[in-house]
Structure 1
Amino acid sequence: MRRERVVVLALDGVYPFELGIPSRILGAADGRYEVLTCSVDGGPVRTNADFGVTVEHGPEALATADTVVIAPVAPAHLADEVPGDVLAALALIRPGTRIVSICTGAFVLAAAGLLDGRRATTHWQVADHFRRMFPHVDLDPDVLFVDDHPILTSAGAASGVDVCLHLVRKDHGSRLANTVARRCVVPPFRDGGQAQYIEQPVPEQGAATTAATRAWALERLGEPLTLADLAGHARMSLRTFARRFHEEVGLSPGRWLIQQRVGRARHLLESSDLTVDQIAGRVGFATGASLRQHLNAAIGVTPQAYRRTFQTTR
């Protein structure tokens, strides 16, 4: 079995936690990935903590990578232009190589011109700064990660875990991704987007939440749930429920339901021989055509193509 080589580029000011995410998550995938860490000159790298790190590889490792990960740096280290040594290192990446950024790593890709005209994300706290610097990038600060093949960008800190699990899921299927998540004691897939983590006023003590209703809905995805059904279960008015749901999850109830149904459909496409119409009925889409439309909008492929991709992993 060929192992995919993942090379993580560590820059001065790197966050130690995020630097270690690819090795920890991808390293738990039953030997499917080889993770190397490099710097722009092969020398030690200063972190944003009170210690540095020594890496084993120089920039030449980037030329051997199947996937390159740009680890994030503290905002104080962000510059309007990419330093020459960083540009030289990025130039070693082979055309077509998959590139992933975590958090502020998107600034490096954008400054190098790699995100022009692409959809991308970064940490919500620096989203406005990013937009001012890179108006040609279609920034979406509400999501945890964006897969605009072959470039993926993710939001802050733990979103690096989300995007690495996405790589495993995309490369080898949900079963292995779920196994990796269990081994690392993290959720295999987080609902919603960044909005749920943006600083919000602390709710009054005893204020109702939508968590119980979300759990209730997940048990009934095959039913034609409406906003009125959800609000009625939560014992809130439509307006209050929709507002509170968005505050807690970062998505509208309707968009969240579609996301959950698509996720359930992907699992059934991978793990069962049910027809597309049967799967559509089980996850709450009215027709197979509706499932096809939503799956294509979410990941850009048809159910048949998705199933063919993962048949070898079943």
Structure 2
Amino acid sequence: MNASGRETTNSVSHFILLGFPSSPEMQLLFFGLFSVTYTLTLMGNAAIACAVWWDRRLHTPMYILLGNFSFLEMCYVSTTVPNMLANFLSTSKSISFVGCFMQFYFFFSFGCDEGFYLCIMAFDRYLAICRPLHYPRIMTKELYTGLIIFGWSCGFILFLTPVVLISQLPYCGPNTINHFICDPVPLMMLSCSEDTTTKFIYSTFNAILMTGTFLFVLCSYALVILTVLRMPSAASKRKAFSTCASHLAVVVLFFAPLMVIYVIPGLGHPAKTQKFVTLFYSVVTPLCNPLIYSLRNKEMKAALKKIFRTAEDTHRI
């Protein structure tokens, strides 16, 4: 039954993901480009996760959270990029109804978890810089373990509601999605009923979730910056700003496109704009994050060099 109480039937068994329509030669070029991007993303984030796992000097809350965030990035890109790569080589570009909503659920759940992880990492930096004397007592192993579990599970719990609501809408055709992923906005546009309740719930959910996490991160770093500016030592200021700059760069790369597309949908973004913005936060940002965190962090660079040296020595043997 739909929102008005009428019983509906669903005649759509699969969807067509248009992706980036172009000539076969361009499709092959896109396949090669995004294959390399995907591989580098997995390698970069895996390197950070492995560095945190193997180097005991990085067994601190900040790096443990960073290692989990990097592993989360690997899961995040793997929900959409492999299917996008397959569609570059496919003529049908179809995805099953269930597969579409599974992709929707996991992609946005992992994305939601990333938002919470950025909040947790901002909270950790706030305690470390603004409350340094109390930091060891507050950020105990029990607390950051609980925060890690919360960060991984919260998105999967919260996104059950919008996925179930949108999947229950009646789809009678057409079944072509002008996107490269099963995005909720074009999915709702394909529904053959005007369910304003579901759209309102989904829009409100996105606005509260994304705005809330974004404001939490901004407030945390605002307090951190105020504390850093009051530090007497120039070396301490430089080190604190270096760490915060990396985190803030990732925050901006992650939240800015999301806020534009999902929190301010009333701007009426063209389909092409939606696709390119989604491509940015779902493919480009996960590629940039390992570079941002490793290039500006001496401890991480040292750990990565140690891993690469060990790998080279093992290969020679």
> Is this a same-fold pair by TM over 0.5?
no
What range is the shorter-chain TM-score in?
under 0.3
Higher helix share: 2
TM-score by length of 2: 0.26
Which of these two proteins has the greater Rg computed from alpha carbons? 2
Q: TM-score, normalised by structure 1?
A: 0.26
Bigger RCO of structures 1 and 2 (CA < 8 A, at least 6 apart): 2
